[in-house]
Structure 1
Amino acid sequence: MEDYIYSFSSFLVRSRVSVNLFLSQFEPLALLLALLLTLLVARVLHSLFSVIHDKGLKDTLLGLFMSSFKLIPGGKSYIDAEKQKIVDKWQSGSKSKRDEWRTELPTTGFGEGIIEDMKDAKSKDVDWKGKCSGTVYIGGSESEGHFSLISEACSMFQHTNPLHLDVFQSVGRFEAEVVAMTADLLGSKEKASGGQVRGNMTSGETESILFAVKTSRDYMKMKTGITKPEMVIAESAHSAYDKAAQYFNIKLRSVPVNKEFKADVKAIRQHINRNTIMIVGSAPGFPHGIIDPIEELGKLADSYGICFHVDLCLGGFVLPFARKLGYQIPPFDFTVKGVTSVSIDVHKYGLAPKGTSVVLYRNHEIRKFSNSINL
């Protein structure tokens, strides 16, 4: 043992002498500059790999190319000019129409003539019925009776204020019924859901998603103490998540979809860290109409103890009925373990007028953070 210790000590002494001899060839200033340069290169490489990790190699290389192109004399001007061409082309079609728009209050009222003016303007709209998928979700000759029903209902309640439910009790009742019936479609009464699904109505998909993200942020802050929240989404997710990230100061990590255009569970897992508050799945996503692997994402979220929002805005009033008709629909609702919130648009295939959506939460413990003030 003593021989081993002596040999090891001799090795250390010889190594130290060799290092000193090597360093003695350089001036102290040169050594300092070399150290600083090494640290700088390491920092640049670390930043580069972080960007590649967040955005992917393709997007990173494209970004570097565009940045480099702008450094070339005239490069930035060329890009700006091309952008302006697109904007001008888009605006040229509506500029002449906008010139006819009123920009000041009229000196005299229109009286009954305002209705004729509105009818004339509406007559110039595109004939969309049965032709514009994804614009208005009710169409065809059989829808006329439904339109009349909606118009009568809207005119009956258009002057109510849902903020004052003690006055407009009927509005509170109808909202509660819509939420309850929607939750029932999405498994609220199934044992796997826990039987405590709660929610509220909103003005549309964007607001429902904003509510879900804000609620998840505040819930996770209470649960884990996260103060620098992040969320992970597939690049096929709705643009409302980008808005939510900006509004609520959340770092957004967007990852590419897999070869089947579904959310890549493995890629999402790689982006989860100690600041992750939630992940997102779509059933289906708007770009491709494909259902993400909700069950796998639910298991992933549950294993990390984070929130999982399912965007059912497009398919929420289709998938439950398709499943009942015998179609092989993969799990997508609150029966999936790990799902903490769901958004579903009633104004799409729920056939309500535009501006009607529902956001649901697995239980009241999560739901109560939708009304909390926690910036």
Structure 2
Amino acid sequence: MANLLSDTFKSDYMLPKVGCSRENIDKKLKEILAKDPEEKYAAMATYCHKGSQDVQDVLLQAFSKVFQKNNLIAVMMPGQKQIEEELLSMCANLLSGGVKGVAANISSGGTESIFSGVHAAREWAREKKPHITEPEFISPYSGHATLNKAGHYLDVKIKRVPVGKDFRGDVEAIRKAIGPNTIGLYASAPNWPYGTYDPIRELGQLALEHDLWLHVDACVGGFIAPFAKKLGYKIPEWDFSVPGVMSISADLHKHAYAMKPASVIAWRSIDLLKYHYVRVTEWPTMEYASQGFVGSRSSGPVAAAWALLHFLGEDGYLEYTKRTMENKRRLIEGIEKIPGLKVIDNELSILCYVSQDEALPILAILGGMTAVGWVHFGTMEPPMIQLILDPRADQFIDAYLKDLAQIAARVRAGETFDDGELRYAN
């Protein structure tokens, strides 16, 4: 198992004896950051969900006003508390599916939001199903890796069930996996590896039949699906309009284009917050409680997200979604013009393509594209290349398709490249 520190890591980089000038710091930062990929080559991978320059300016302007404030103690700052609650209200309404009374909490990202959903389910089960001492969650195999991290920390066993041939959750397989210790089900809208929606309407019914908590991971789709649906795209049911859905995780720093880190965990009703909060009174300084697992946190990302939602508004997000989906259409059309390559059928902004020709191994294609500079995410089961699309991708699509066609031709002609790595994080 790889260490997350580099192989060359040494504890010998020391604090300077004398402080550096701002000019020298800026110069050094530029030198170090020059090692990172160019914008063009990573815009559909590591630099995705960035938004326009106007968006960046709005985020930085709001962030700079409050980044030194601590939102853990927003209760002592009426203005900051108003900003947070207005942001959460906007998010709750977008994720509600028209259901009244939805509540939401801010978090540091999808990991904390998913953790919070599993934690609340565990606390709910302790009250409703006290006989269960070894709780289990069931998820399609495609559920995000952070689900297992949450299970590890919370002592909740995660049972993963193979997906169907369409890369979506298999309802009957999940039904068969339900056992006496099952407390919850996990579904994605969409999942990260394949960009596909699980059958959430059916899983909601299954959750109701067995009195289980259903958490929907909409970290990718939560802030684009409502607008795609308004534009006429066919989006499977996924939000609180589906009976049985108890909690939803959705990342502001993905298709809301907010500053990282920013996510929300939403609840079907405010009554469920009692399973979320951990209120500590056994210490000298009265009650301690926070929005989620994290304690001290900068007010900057909260204010930046609030500012951006006001800046773009519904019309702005509709335009961003329209451009994103048009970019996907262009890429699908261009990729499938290359003999042997096929885009899998999914929803929204994640595009995954595979090779259907043994003479065109997808890892060789990835290696060739890597050699000319492109950065990709990817999935290994089965091997497929992944692109993450947003409105900015339009300026890079032609160059990408040109290079892809050339690499495919070179591989087909017998040229070899080192196999690329299909991964997300390690």
Q: TM-score, normalised by structure 1?
A: 0.69
Q: Which residue of 2 aligns with 1:50?
A: none
How is 1:162-173 mapped onto 2 (pairs within 5 angstroms)? 162-173=71-82
Unaligned runs of 5+ in 2: 281-426
1:118 counterpart residue number: 29
d(CA) in 2 for partners of 1:249 and 1:95?
31
1:279 corresponds to which residue? Answer: 185
Q: State the partner residue of 2:86.
A: 177
**Out of 359, 365, 374, which is 2:265 matched to?**
359
Displacement of 1:369 in angstroms is 1.3
Label 1:260 to 1:138 Cα distance change in 2 as closer, same or farther (>3 A).
closer
- Structure 1 pair 342/139, CA: closer, same or farther in 2 (3 Å)? closer
Q: Secondary structure at the match of 2:72?
A: coil
For 2:45 and 2:217, locate their aligned partners in 1 and report how far apart those are by CA, in whole Å. Answer: 16
Determine the C-alpha separation between the residues in 1 that align with 2:248 and 2:50.
27
User: Is this contact kept in 1: 2:42–2:48, CA < 8 A?
Assistant: no
1:350 aligns with 2:261: no
1:145 paired to 2:54: yes
Deviation digits for residues 314-371 of structure 1 (CA, Å, limit 9, x no counterpart): 0111111111111221211000000000000000010001110000011122222111
Q: Could you state the TM-score of these two structures normalised by the residue count of structure 2?
A: 0.61
Q: Partners of 2:208 and 2:266 in 1: how far apart?
A: 18
- Contact 1:202-1:358 at 8 Å conserved across structures: yes
1:332 to 214, 238, 256: 238
For 2:158 and 2:63, the matched residues in 1 are separated by 38
1-structure distance, mates of 2:168, 2:211: 23
Runs (4+) of structure 1 exceeding 6 A deviation are: none
In the alignment, residue 150 of structure 2 is paired with which amino acid?
A: A
Report the residue type matching 1:366 in the other structure: L
Query: Is residue 207 from structure 1 mapped to residue 115 from structure 2 by the alignment?
Result: no
1:35 aligned partner: none
Question: 1:228-274, CA deviations, whole angstroms, 9 ceiling, x for partnerless residues?
Answer: 21110111000011001110011111110011110111111111122
How much does 1:134 deviate? 4.3
Instruction: Specify the code of the residue in structure 2 equivalent to 1:244.
Output: A
What one-letter code is carried by the residue in structure 2 that aligns with 1:313? Answer: C
Counterpart amino acid of 2:118?
A: V
Q: Is the 8 A contact 1:161 1:168 kept in 2?
A: no
In the other structure, the counterpart of 1:369 is: 275
Counterpart CA distance in 2 for 1:109 and 1:342 is 46
Aligned residues: 278
Which amino acid in structure 2 is aligned with residue 231 of structure 1? F
In the alignment, does 2:133 pair up with 1:133?
Answer: no
8 Å contact kept, 1:129–1:139: no
What aligned pairs does 1:1-375 form with structure 2 within 5 A after superposition? 103-112=13-22, 113-128=24-39, 131-139=42-50, 143-187=52-96, 190=98, 193=99, 195-225=100-130, 226-372=132-278
| CA apart distance, 1:111 | 2.9
Take 2:163 and 2:49, find their aligned partners in 1: how far apart are those partners?
31
More helix by share: 1
Residue 76 of structure 2 aligns to a residue whose secondary structure is coil
Deviations 1:27-73 (CA, angstroms, capped at 9, x unpaired): xxxxxxxxxxxxxxxxxxxxxxxxxxxxxxxxxxxxxxxxxxxxxxx
1:172-205 Cα offsets, whole Å, 9 max, x none, are 22221222111211226x2xx3x22112010111
Shift in Å at residue 162 of structure 1?
A: 0.9
- For residue 161 of structure 1, what is the amino acid of its counterpart? N
Q: Report the alpha carbon displacement of residue 130 of structure 1 after superposing the two structures with TM.
A: 7.2
- Give the match for residue 328 of structure 2: none
For CA contacts below 8 A with separation 6 or more, give which structure has more relative contact order.
Answer: 2
Quick one: distance in 2 between partners of 1:224 and 1:95?
Answer: 47
Identity of aligned residues (%): 37
Which structure has the greater CA radius of gyration? 1
Sort the Cα spacing of 1:198 and 1:171 in 2 relative to 1 into closer, same or farther, 3 A: same
Question: How far did 1:171 drift?
Answer: 2.3
Partner of 1:73 in structure 2? none
Amino acid at match of 1:210: F
- RMSD (Å) for aligned C-alpha atoms: 2.3
Distance 1:134 1:282, change over 3 A: farther
Supply the distance in 2 between the matched residues of 1:309 and 1:134 (Cα, whole angstroms). 27
